[in-house]
Amino acid sequence: MSDARTIFTKQFKEEMKKKHLSYRGLAEALGRPVEWLVTVVVGNLALSESEAKTLWEKASFSPRDEKFISALTKLPEAALDGIRRSRDPVIYRLYEVLSLYGGVVRELLNEKVDETGFTLLKFFEEDGRVNTVWSAKLQPVNEPKHIPQQSEIRHGAFAGVKAKKLEKNLTWEAIAAGIGRSKEWLLAALLNRMLFHEDEAKKLCSLLDLDSEAYMKNLLAPPERGCSIYKHIYMPQNQAVDTYATAIKEMIMEDFGDGIMSAVNFEFRVDITDDDRIKMSWSGKFLPYKSY
């Protein structure tokens, strides 16, 4: 982020605090989503000149500093590496979610995510949980989908389950319903990110006519959650978190207070909408820092 934008962000937040302004109030005055505004303020999106001037006026900054207006209209320099290396626990949790669920999204898609990537559509609090909704345009994929080697995932269990799924013409949703789980959780477990209980593994083997003696040991093996989040198939989600992580941190602070979003007490959903878009929904329990 440029020096001018860095100074702007610091001064802007100080002015907001002095004037008791909220991101949501300013976003409403601008007629733009709060998610967009916060991402601009933290330096990951650019404004038009008229939007920059309106933002300055609505925040009642005086006198107006033209160098800040100019800085806001320029797309900031990429700060991806800095964000990814961040030791901030709030931001780290967002990448932890990708390490758990990044492969799930790719497996559920027959298309690929458009190069414009994911947009953070909505951030909201509900029942003490941090909720984010992401959206991206889908486009047909011409290259063959990446198929992991059998040795990569649960010693071949994933490949065997997928072969049976195709043979029986089943959907992931139907298989998940058969074991009493969501399709997202099922895929995360098959991709070695979640732990099957014995009864779930037995139901899966029975539903797909799998050799339980051959599969149970691998299905019940402890998950390996330390995967790299930089795999190519996760790239659209990585880019989304690169862009919006700092904004999400700011909104958590404003709406919840000092704390983090849990990646353990967490729910993940993927839906394909009628207009050929993918929608990801994240919901994690807010965990406040404890004073003692």
- What angle separates helix 212-219 from helix 157-167, to the nearest 10 degrees? 130
Nearest in space to 189 (alpha carbons), one of 228, 148, 231, 157: 157
Please determine whether the domains at 3-72 and 154-219 fall in the same fold group of CATH. yes
Instruction: Retrieve residue 194's tokens.
Output: 């979640």
Q: Any residues with CB less than 8 A from the CB of 17 and at least 6 apart, and which?
A: none
Reported in sequence order, the residue ranges of the chain that DSSP labels E, i.e. its strands, are: 112-113, 119-126, 129-139, 259-272, 277-288
Q: Kindly give the parts of the chain with pLDDT less than 70.
A: 1-4, 59-68, 75-86, 110-112, 115-116, 140-155, 225-234
CA–CA gap between residue 189 and residue 203 (Å, rounded): 14
Q: Residues 185, 194: contact at Cβ < 8 Å?
A: yes
The CATH code that applies to domain 154-219 is 1.10.260.40
Lookup: tokens for 221: 């093996």
Q: Both tokens of residue 261?
A: 């979003």
CA 136 to chain centre: 12
Domain boundaries defined on the chain: 3-72, 87-143+229-288, 154-219
Which pair of structure tokens corresponds to residue 223? 């998950």
- Given 1.10.260, 1.10.10, 2.30.30, 1.10.3470, which CATH number is that of 3-72? 1.10.260
Task: Tell whether omega for the bond before 63 is within 30 degrees of 0, i.e. cis.
Answer: yes
What's the pLDDT at 269? Answer: 93
The CA–CA distances, whole Å, from 240 to 117, 157, 215 equal: 7, 31, 36
Condensed to tens digits (0 to 9), the pLDDT of residues 102-156 reads: 788 878 876 667 766 788 999 999 999 999 999 988 876 655 454 444 334 566 7
Of 71, 62, 50, 17, which Cα lies nearest the Cα of 250? 17
Give pLDDT, residue 123: 94
Please enumerate in sequence order all residues whose Cβ is within 8 A of that of 142, keeping only pairs 6 or more positions apart, or say none: none
First and final CA of the chain: distance in angstroms? 36
List C-alpha distances in Å: 129 to 123, 132, 256: 11, 10, 9
